[in-house]
């Protein structure tokens, strides 16, 4: 049997990012890799050498893995279609669960997982790391304190080109481009929908449409436009993973000011209707959010806190994903 403090599921870049952070900040924790795909490692390969250096144990036999203590946790960074399966497997073994996004768009599976987590008194977290951005925290305080009055409307956008994400792999062979592996624009770029829920709360209704460019013969939708309705305002969300330009912004119109947050430059512009404009540059960027997320989750396990990042709070978000994924225009 293999008793471990941390079990990592996945060998992609995000899995290794999580493992490297844990190794750096929690060197006393024993880490095991669950090699569910039975990948063969070669010490001569740079990436394989790094993987082998991170883990005390590597196994493809799930039955051998057990939590070392009641604070042991699993980091699930397999392809999206495996997320809920692996979360259920390791929750049954009484590991706390940190699962990369998206968790699932199946309500029945989510219900089973929440029940299992409750029965075993386990902490959980879905890996929407944009919540840990300094700029998002600052923006949420402005909204919560109503510093510039009521919100009138908002526009959220992320435009990128997924074909450049993994230069060493043909883009059509990546999980992003394969529906059965959980690919597609809504799953891949769902950070925007999550932080929308985080700063504005849950919408009361939504309208959405997804589309795919036929010239690339992709198996997945590559564009999504959605409108989320709140009691006093609306939020328009534009997601595009085949854009010719890079863009990631959040624009909010208040009663007394407009705010433009550019996530690519990490700069927030506040255009006040009276009293002059302000510009804020945030020191911490996206890379720092992964560190803050791991630290937050370890602390969460220690103190057994429950909040909106818990999997039990994921049902509203799942509803949004379901409604978007079921609305298409081919």
pTM: 0.89
Q: In angstroms, rounded to a whole number, what is the distance separating the alpha carbons of residues 224 and 211? A: 6
Are 176 and 241 in contact by the 8 Å Cβ rule? The answer is: yes
Q: What is the pLDDT of residue 312?
A: 65
What does the DSSP assignment read for 47-109?
Answer: HHHHHHHH-SEEES-GGGEEESSTT-EEEE-S-GGGHHHHHHHHHHTT-EEEEESP--S-HHH
Are 196 and 156 in contact by the 8 Å Cβ rule? The answer is: yes
pLDDT in tens, 90-120: 999 999 999 998 888 778 888 899 999 999 9
Q: What is the pLDDT of residue 15?
A: 94
Q: In 10 A of CB 173, how many CB atoms?
A: 10
Maximum CA extent, the chain: 67
CATH number of 134-283: 3.30.360.10
Question: Residue 181 has which token pair?
Answer: 């592996």
Q: Could you tell me the fold of the domain covering 2-129?
A: Rossmann fold (3.40.50)
Q: What is the pLDDT of residue 248?
A: 97
Q: What is the pLDDT of residue 80?
A: 87
Are 19 and 9 in contact by the 8 Å Cβ rule? The answer is: no
Domain ranges of the chain: 2-129, 134-283
Cα dihedral sign for 314, 315, 318, 324? Answer: negative
pLDDT in tens, 262-311: 999 999 999 999 888 999 999 988 999 999 999 999 999 988 765 555 67
Q: Which residues of the chain have pLDDT under 50?
A: none
């Amino acid at each position: 049997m293999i008793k471990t403090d941390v079990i990592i599921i996945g060998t992609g870049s995000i899995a290794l990012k999580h493992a490297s952070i844990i190794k750096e900040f929690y060197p006393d924790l024993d880490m095991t890799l669950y090699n569910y795909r039975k990948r063969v490692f070669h010490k001569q390969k740079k990436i394989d050498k790094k993987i082998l250096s991170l883990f005390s144990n590597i196994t493809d036999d799930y039955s051998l893995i057990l939590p070392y203590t009641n604070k042991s946790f699993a980091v699930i960074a397999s392809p999206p279609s495996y997320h809920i399966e692996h979360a259920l497997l390791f929750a049954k073994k009484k590991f706390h669960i940190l699962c990369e996004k998206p968790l699932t768009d199946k309500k029945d599976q989510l219900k089973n997982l929440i029940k299992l987590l409750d029965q075993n008194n386990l902490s959980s977290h879905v890996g929407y790391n944009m919540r840990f951005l300094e700029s998002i925290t600052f923006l949420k305080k402005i909204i919560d304190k109503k510093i510039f009055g009521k919100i009138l409307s908002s526009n959220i956008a992320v435009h990128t080109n997924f074909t450049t994400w993994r230069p060493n792999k043909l883009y059509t062979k990546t999980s992003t481009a394969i529906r059965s592996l959980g690919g597609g624009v809504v799953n891949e770029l769902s950070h925007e929908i999550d932080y929308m829920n985080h700063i504005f709360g849950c919408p009361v209704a939504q309208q959405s449409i997804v589309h795919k460019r036929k010239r690339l013969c992709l198996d997945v939708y590559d564009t999504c436009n959605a409108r989320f309705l709140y009691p006093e305002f609306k939020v328009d969300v534009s997601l595009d993973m085949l854009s010719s330009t890079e863009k990631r912004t959040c624009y909010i119109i208040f009663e007394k000011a407009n705010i433009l947050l550019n996530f690519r430059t990490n700069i927030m512009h506040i255009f006040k209707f009276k009293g002059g404009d302000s510009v804020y540059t945030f020191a911490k960027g996206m890379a720092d959010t992964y560190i803050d997320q791991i630290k937050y989750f370890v602390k969460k396990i220690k103190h057994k806190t429950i909040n909106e990042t818990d999997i039990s709070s994921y049902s509203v978000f799942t509803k949004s994903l379901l409604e978007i994924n079921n609305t298409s225009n081919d």
